[in-house]
A = this chain, B = another copy of it.
Amino acid sequence: MARRELPLGRPDLPPVQPLLRTTLSKDDVKPRLLGHWGTTPGLTFLYAHLNRAIAERSQPTIYVTGPGHGGPGLVAAAYLDRTYSEVYPDITEDAEGVKRLFRQFSFPGGIPSHVAPETPGSIHEGGELGYALSHAYGAAFDNPDLLVATVVGDGEAETGPLATSWHSNKFVNPARDGVVLPILHLNGYKIANPTVLARIGDDELEALMVGYGHKPHVFVAGFDDESHEDVHARFAALLDEVLDEIADIKAKAADGDESRPMWPMIVFRTPKGWTGPDYIDGKKTTGSWRAHQVPLANARDTPEHLEVLHSWLASYKPEELFDEDGKAADDIRGLAPEGQLRMSDNPNGNGGLLLKDLRLPDFRDYGVDVPVPGGSISEAPKILGTWLTDVIRQNPDNFRIFGPDETASNRLQAVFEETDKQWNADFVGPEVDEHLARAGRVMEMLSEHQCQGWLEGYLLTGRHGLFNCYEAFIHIIDSMFNQHAKWLKVTDDIPWRRPIASLNYLLSSHVWRQDHNGFSHQDPGFIDHVVNKKAEIVRVYLPPDANTLLSTYDHCLRSRQYVNVVVTGKQPAPNFLTMDQAVAHCTRGLGIWDWAGTEVEGEEPDVVLGCAGDVPTLEALAAADILRREIPELKVRLVNVVDLMRMQDEKEHPHGLSDKDFDTIFTKTKPVIFAYHGYPWLIHRLTYRRNGHANIHVRGYKEEGTTTTPFDMVMLNDLDRFHLVIDVIDRVPSLGTSRAGLRQRMVDARLDAREYTRAHGDDLPAVRDWVWPAAAEAGLDTEVDATVATGGDNE
C-alpha cells in the first residue's frame, strides 16, 4: 500500500465550514479528534514575533520546536507564510485549501500531529523529547550567520539529554558558529503533572540558567488582565533587547574576542493552552495539564461542548483574519518575511539543498603495506585517522568528528595534527589543555546524547560527520537512532526533501577488547538494534583490517540518507589485504580468501569457515592454520564478510546477495562454521531464507565476559580458534570420530591457555603472538608502533 497521499474525502465531511461562518454543528467536527493543543499557542506567539524581528533584521533563522507535538502551530505558520502551499500545491490559499489543511491534520493518509519531516522548515520532529538544544547547536556549528530559535518545553526540560544540552554553549564559537537562542516555554504542565522547572520558584530557576551559562530574560504573560496588545508590545521589546545582545556578542567576536559570553535565553512563562477555555465541565483547563491534548474531545457528541468549542474558535475573530475567499488577510500574510528568510523556507530546514560533496583525498594513498597476509600490524583506526586528517584539511567548514571523550583513545589522534577539540569553557594552560582550542573540528563532551544530537543537527542542515564511540555505550542513543532512521525513511518519500549525508558511526572500542573494563563494557547489540529499521536506511560494516577500514569509510562518507555502522577494533592487529585486495573485497562486500583456504579448484569445499569482524577473522584464520597443518587433505574455504547486509536476501535488503551467489560462496549443503563479532542470532536471522541455513553454525558473543585477557575472552564465548576447529570436527561428517585425537588436543589446548592466563595474567605467548604462516615464513617484523601507556591507551 502506498504510504502517503493527501486525503480528499467526501465534500460533505468535516470541516464543512473551516472559516466558522455559521455556528458549528456536529458535522463540522471530525469523528476522531487527535493532536495536542496545550503547547501550540505559545509556539505560534513566538513564531509570529520572530517573523517580525527577522523581517526587520534580515536575520536568517530556523525554528526548532522542542515540544514537537505542537505540530498544528508550525503547520499553520508555514501555511500563513505561504511555504506550505508552495511545497503542497493542493493546500491552496482559499477556503478549500484551509479545509484541506484542517482535514489532513492527524487524519488517515494525511500529515502527522508532530513537527515531522512533512512540516516545511523542520529539522526536529520532537516526537521523542530531549534533543531540541542538541539539534539546535548541531545546526549552528559552522553556520556563523544563522540564528536557531529553539523552544524548549518545560516537560522536555526534565529529560536527561535536554538537561545536559544547555552546556552546549561551552562548545559553540561565537565568531565561527551560529547562535542558538533557547526559549524555555514554561507553560507549567505535562500530560498529567506540573513541570519541575515551573515549581522551583524564580530564584532557583534563574540560578539554574546562570549555572548553565546563560543570561536569563524572564517573560510572564497570560495570568492577568493585561491586554494582548500590551503583551505583544512587551515581548517585542524583549525580543529586540535579546537580539541586540546577541548582535553585540557577534560584533565583539568578529573583532577577535572569542571568549565565552553569557548567551541570552528567554524564560517564557504563559498558561498552558493560553487563550483556550478556562474551565470545561467546571474543571480548570487553560493553565493546567488538562489543556495538554484535545480539551473538548467529545465536542461532536456533546452539544454543550460544541458550544464551548464554537465560542472558543470565534474568539479569534476569523472574519478579521481571512478574506471572503478564505485567504489570510494581507496584514497577517505581511507579517512573515520574504523568501528564504521565512523560517519554513530556510534551506537549513531542508539541509540537502545545502549539501556539498566532501573533497575526499584518495584513501588508497593512506593504505598500509601488506607484503603477505598478516605481514604487517596496525591499529586500524589510527590509519583511518591519517586519512581523516586530510579530509579535515580539505573540508575545513563542513565536516566534524563527534565523540564522548575518546577520539584519541579510539586512535584517531592523527587528526590533532590538523585540528583541535573545540572548547569554549575555561582554559588552564598548554600543559593540560592539549589539542583544545576555541575552534576545531572535533567535538567531545561526555554525553553520547549530545554527540548524537549535535551530529544529527549538523547533518540535517547539510553537512558531514562521524560519531566515534564505545560499542557498548552506543546503546545509550538507541532511541535517538530510531528517530533519525524514521526521519530518513519518511524523507525518502517526500519529494521536496533533498538527501542528506549519512550518519556514520565508528565503534572501535568493541566488545572483545575491554581489557580495562570488563563485562559492563561488553555489548555488541547495537547492530541488532539497527537492523530492525528499514533496510533502505541501514548499513553495517565490519572491516577486518586497516585497508578495508579505509575503503569502507571512504564509501560511508560518500553515501547519502543512510545510517552506516562501522565496527572495528583499535588494538594492534594484523593486516591481511593489500589496498587493491581491500578495495575489491569491500566492493564485493564479502568474499573467499583463497590464500587462507585449502580448496581444490573445481571441487566443493568440505567446510566453510565464515567470519565477520576483526577478532573473529583472526580466530578463523588461526583455526584455518591449525586445520591446514593437522588435516591437510580437508578442503577448507574461508569467507570474510565486511558488509553484513550481504548475508541477507536481496529481496530483503538492497545489499543482499542473490541466492545463487550466496550458494556459490557458502554452498548449499556443506557445514558453515561462522565466527561473528556480535550476538550469534543475527547471522541466523540474516541467512534465514538461505538454502543452506540449517548448516550454518555461528559462534559469537554469549554474554560471557569478565576480567580477563583477550584470548581468554574469546574462549569464554567459544569463539576461539581451538573451539572453531572442534566445531569443524564435529560438523564435517567425514571427520567425526577419526579425529578424536585432534579434538582432544584442541580441548587440552584451551585448558592450557586458560591455566597459563590465570597463572601469568597474560595470554599464552604461542597464542598471543601467532601470525599467519606466510608472514611467519617471510620472517617479517610484525612489531607495531602501538599507542601505549599514559594517555593514548586510556579507555
Contact = CB atoms under 8 A, between A and B. Distances in A.
A791 B518 CA distance: 47
A457 interface: no
A778 interface: no
Interface in A287-304: 287-290, 292-298
Interface in A153-174: 155-156, 158-165, 167, 170
B490 A519 contact: yes
A9 interface: yes
A430 to B, nearest CB: 10
A476 B758 CA distance: 39
A520 interface: yes
A762 B33 CA distance: 10
B759 A298 contact: no
Interface in A264-305: 280-281, 283-285, 287-290, 292-298
A109 interface: yes
Contact of A533 (B34, B191, B703, B706): B703
B795 A191 contact: yes
A708 to B, nearest CB: 5
A158 B447 contact: yes
A425 B432 CA distance: 41
Given A209-B211, A405-B155, A715 B790 contact: no
30 contacts: A1-B715, A4-B706, A9-B759, A14-B761, A34-B515, A106-B707, A109-B707, A110-B707, A113-B517, A127-B519, A127-B520, A128-B520, A130-B160, A162-B164, A163-B167, A191-B405, A192-B407, A192-B791, A194-B436, A195-B446, A199-B427, A207-B210, A285-B790, A293-B795, A296-B790, A472-B479, A473-B479, A475-B479, A486-B703, A688-B688
Contacts of A528: 528-529, 532
A287 B405 contact: no
* Interface of chain A, main secondary structure: loop
Contacts of A423: 193-194
Interface residues of A, number: 159
A476 B473 contact: no
A192 to B, nearest CB: 5
Given A1-B754, A13-B761, A791-B290, A196 B445 contact: yes
Interface string A199-221: 11101111111111100000000
Contact of A31 (B201, B707, B762): B762
A1 B716 contact: yes
A525 interface: yes
Contacts of A703: 486, 489, 532-534
Contact of A210 (B204, B284, B716): B204
Given A426-B199, A519-B490, A284 B209 contact: no
A520 B125 contact: yes
